[in-house]
Structure 1
Amino acid sequence: MRPVIIDKVRIFDGRAMLGPGSVEFADGVITRVTTEPAPVAPASADVIDGTGMTLLPGLIDAHTHVFGAESNLELALAFGVTTELDMFMGPPEATQALCAAAGERADLADMRSSGLVASAPGGHPGVTMPLLPTVAGPERADAFVAERQAEGAHFIKIIVDDGANHGMSLPALDRATVTALAEAARRRGLLTVAHVSALWSARLALDSGVDMLTHLPLEAALDEAFVSRIADERRVVIPTLAMLEASAPKTSASARAGRSLADDPRIAGYLPDHARTAMAEGHEGLCVQHASADHDFGHALSSVAALRGAGVPVLAGTDTNYRPDRACPVVHGASLHTELALLVRAGLTPAEALTAATSAPAEHFGLFDRGMIAPGRRADLVLVEGDPTKDIGRTRSIEAIWCVGVRFDREAYRKRTA
């Protein structure tokens, strides 16, 4: 494979803006990053003039649902998402096969998955999935985690949800069981991610020692004492603002980022028709389908602002539930650009939002071969017009994408999916 040099380009390395400078990669790996005048390029290299552009690490969506659909990983890649962290998929053999395929192919986003989730018997989501294994009490926790690890799970997802957001009253995992799950995972070197649905479940998950919380309550903002505790205990939060915005019945007049994305020509032209329709009109797969009157998206924005102020690591994740036969308005790839915009609306700087979608998820999920533009890292790269550290919307102005050093042909993708 011929070496590639991107020259005279701003470099956001995953934490800060460097440059202008040049980045060289070959055989899927970054080999040189410099802000000094570049040496004369070898005749064998492909040189790209990056004047006026910014080079980013490949984006990482820290909360997705791929549903076994290979097309979702291609759709993600078309919008610069080179890694997806899948938060529930089965059966195990299908999850293993798709993770393996994604790891071997440069035309799909790479994928890590929790596999099957831990939930209460008769609870969410098992009430509609009778074959889903559940955890009947703390004495079952160790075996559950061992089974998921044997199936290849990269982390353990724990559901702490009583079904209220779905119009049901269901049993939920208790503190003793969630604690036992967190401890069993920790003994085996696996992270735990807790799906929380309300203030009570967020507190229970934190009390139980899970590593990460995903989602935020909509009935009220997290209070100062709770946020301080999250910070003191070095927990991590994946807010999934894109999903919460689409789900919440109350939003401010300006909070329509997800729906309006379908009208952005930088996005719409690369969406398959069914994805564009789902984004503009779909209502399936939303996490709050029977919201109470006090559910307000503004509470989630306030919580993110407080978390950011306390120094809590915030990761960009969309909770996309989209697939071609499911009209979820939060779609793979494209909706991460909504997430970035919403993180900035919540108070993160554009650079902090970019970190939340690059080096931060790589660090906290142990993906130390990516997330940064540095020698030795994977050549997962996104070249955009303008400077997204000043205008986060510039992440949508994609000029080129590389996955493991292979350039993704966006134009061919656009023509194929039109």
Structure 2
Amino acid sequence: MSRPPPSPRRNSSASKNSHHERPSLGRTKVPQDQEHGFGAVIMNGKGGFLIPGLIDSNVRLTDCAYLLTLQKYGVTTALDMGTFPYGDVMKCGEHGVTDIQGSGAVGTVSGTKIGRIPGFPSDSFIPTPEAGRKFVAARIAEGVDYIKLVLDPLGPDDATIKAIVKAAHEKGLQVIAEAESYALYAQAARTGIDIVTHAPIDKALDGAVINNITSSDIKVVPSLLMMQSTVNNTGEPFFMYTNTANSAKSLLQAGIPLAAGTESNESPYFPVNPPFGDSLHDELAMMVAAGFTPSQAIQAATSVPASIFQMDDRGAIKPGLRADMVMLSADPTVDIRNTRNILKVWVEGISR
């Protein structure tokens, strides 16, 4: 990855660190709150730990009020993966409130669970390559930030996915695909998908698929909490969360960029409804339990998603980037649970 990893910073000093090592934490005295030119304010960090604003790379936003909930928990950017119409998501945008980006309606085929949601748009059914190209055109007309598909044994087929990827790439958009099985991960790897959400619950990824993912330059949002909850709530005999956790660990060891995403939602059509904001801290803890270091987990919610979703204006604390920051009372690189110990949150330099 080209972007350097974020480093928790004690008050306002920083140090350079490698991607996998625990950041060293500098410390400096900061004056009491005071005006400091051009309306800027210097705050007394009181020995706190400053990290970049957190990014949840998989939510389903259905109420603008949840942006304030996300902000309360330190989530300063949320990436919506399927709320439709796209305009309903974008109307929530407000300066100084958690930033929201989205895909609009996902692409799928007739007969899938997602396709049976009431009001699901007919132009999101993609049984053929031509339908896939029209789907991309419809989403682009809405102004979406990226294209989202849900892969399923029923479809779409390889030819349709490739047509969608080509059409999206021609317009400068990435294609994200949800894949919950070993076979669907293999399909994503051979069809040019840019980012995969979820991770297999039927069979752990092996070297063959991981090599294909690596060579295809695919990035992953494993959504561990959603996968564990799906296993717990559906009772499917061949679903095992250990397959998901082991897949995430293998992907991490292979050097594949992994971002944290919860799929927070309030939909009655989903097997579980992870709460907005709070569940991202659970996701980070689950990443650590799966083999991430605390520093890697923090990167999965800051610099990694900023890089893989091409958000070059955030994900780190440095001059010229958005002033999205979270101040913690304890060191999260020692114990990832300390990301919950939030003292203050800033979005675009504004705190609430």
- Band of TM-score, shorter chain: 0.7 to 0.9
Cα distance, 1:40 vs. partner?
11
Q: 2:89 aligns with which of 86, 91, 95?
A: 95
Q: 1:54 aligns with which of 33, 36, 49?
A: 49
Query: Which residue number in structure 2 is paired with residue 207 of structure 1?
Result: 190
Cα–Cα, structure 1 residues 219 and 122, in superposed 2: closer, same or farther, change >3 Å? closer
Within 5 Å, which residues of 2 pair with 1:397-416? 397-408=341-352
Q: What is the distance in 1 between the residues matched to 2:34 and 2:120?
A: 58
Is 2:43 the counterpart of 1:17?
no
Aligned residue type for 1:81: V
What SS does structure 2 have at the residue aligned with 1:204?
Answer: helix
Query: Which residue number in structure 2 is paired with residue 278 of structure 1?
Result: none
Is 2:122 the counterpart of 1:127?
no
Is 2:256 the counterpart of 1:312?
yes
* Structure 2 contact 35–42 (Cα < 8 Å) conserved: no
The CA deviation string for residues 6-57 of structure 1, in whole angstroms up to 9 with x for no partner, is 97356599967364256xxxxxxxxxxxxxx879997546433324321010
Cα distance, 1:92 vs. partner?
3.4
* Structure 1 contact 115–148 (Cα < 8 Å) conserved: yes
What SS does structure 2 have at the residue aligned with 1:248?
Answer: helix
Query: Which residue number in structure 1 is paired with residue 160 of structure 2?
Result: 177
The CA deviation string for residues 136-183 of structure 1, in whole angstroms up to 9 with x for no partner, is 301222221111011011000011124xxxxxxxx3211111111111
The CA deviation string for residues 229-281 of structure 1, in whole angstroms up to 9 with x for no partner, is 212221101000111122213xxxxxxxxxxxxxxxxxxxxxxxxxxxxxxxx
What SS does structure 1 have at the residue aligned with 2:65?
Answer: helix
What SS does structure 2 have at the residue aligned with 1:372?
Answer: coil
* Structure 1 contact 65–86 (Cα < 8 Å) conserved: yes
Normalised to the residue count of structure 2, the TM-score between the two structures is: 0.88
Query: Which residue number in structure 2 is paired with residue 115 of structure 1?
Result: 104
* Structure 1 contact 337–393 (Cα < 8 Å) conserved: yes
Specify every segment of 5 or more residues in structure 1 that has no aligned partner in the other structure, as ranges.
Answer: 1-5, 23-36, 163-170, 250-288, 409-418
What SS does structure 2 have at the residue aligned with 1:201?
Answer: helix
* Structure 1 contact 243–330 (Cα < 8 Å) conserved: yes
Cα–Cα, structure 1 residues 233 and 326, in superposed 2: closer, same or farther, change >3 Å? closer
Query: Which residue number in structure 1 is paired with residue 337 of structure 2?
Result: 393
* Structure 2 contact 32–44 (Cα < 8 Å) conserved: no
* Structure 1 contact 13–372 (Cα < 8 Å) conserved: no
Is 2:49 the counterpart of 1:105?
no
Specify every segment of 5 or more residues in structure 2 that has no aligned partner in the other structure, as ranges.
Answer: 1-8
Within 5 Å, which residues of 2 pair with 1:255-266? none
Q: What is the distance in 2 between the residues matched to 1:40 and 1:339?
A: 35
Aligned residue type for 1:17: P
Query: Which residue number in structure 2 is paired with residue 370 of structure 1?
Result: 314
Aligned residue type for 2:149: I
* Structure 2 contact 162–191 (Cα < 8 Å) conserved: yes
* Structure 2 contact 10–25 (Cα < 8 Å) conserved: no
* Structure 2 contact 86–103 (Cα < 8 Å) conserved: no
Q: What is the distance in 2 between the residues matched to 1:197 and 1:120?
A: 16
Is 2:140 the counterpart of 1:149?
yes
Cα–Cα, structure 1 residues 379 and 13, in superposed 2: closer, same or farther, change >3 Å? farther
Within 5 Å, which residues of 2 pair with 1:154-169? 154-162=145-153
Cα–Cα, structure 1 residues 11 and 202, in superposed 2: closer, same or farther, change >3 Å? same
Cα distance, 1:129 vs. partner?
3.4
Cα–Cα, structure 1 residues 126 and 43, in superposed 2: closer, same or farther, change >3 Å? closer
Aligned residue type for 1:8: N
Cα distance, 1:219 vs. partner?
1.4
* Structure 1 contact 12–55 (Cα < 8 Å) conserved: no
The CA deviation string for residues 341-360 of structure 1, in whole angstroms up to 9 with x for no partner, is 01111111110110010011
* Structure 1 contact 227–307 (Cα < 8 Å) conserved: yes
Query: Which residue number in structure 2 is paired with residue 189 of structure 1?
Result: 172
Q: What is the distance in 2 between the residues matched to 1:58 and 1:11?
A: 16
The CA deviation string for residues 268-311 of structure 1, in whole angstroms up to 9 with x for no partner, is xxxxxxxxxxxxxxxxxxxxx54421211111111111011100
What SS does structure 2 have at the residue aligned with 1:83?
Answer: strand
What SS does structure 2 have at the residue aligned with 1:176?
Answer: helix
What SS does structure 2 have at the residue aligned with 1:179?
Answer: helix
The CA deviation string for residues 313-338 of structure 1, in whole angstroms up to 9 with x for no partner, is 00000011237999944111110000
Q: What is the distance in 1 between the residues matched to 2:175 and 2:326?
A: 29
Is 2:2 the counterpart of 1:8?
no
Q: What is the distance in 2 between the residues matched to 1:63 and 1:158?
A: 13
Query: Which residue number in structure 1 is paired with residue 266 of structure 2?
Result: 322
Greater percentage in strand = 1
Two-structure CA RMSD over aligned residues (Å)? 2.7
Cα–Cα, structure 1 residues 43 and 177, in superposed 2: closer, same or farther, change >3 Å? closer
**How many residues in Structure 1 have an aligned counterpart in Structure 2?**
336
What SS does structure 2 have at the residue aligned with 1:298?
Answer: helix
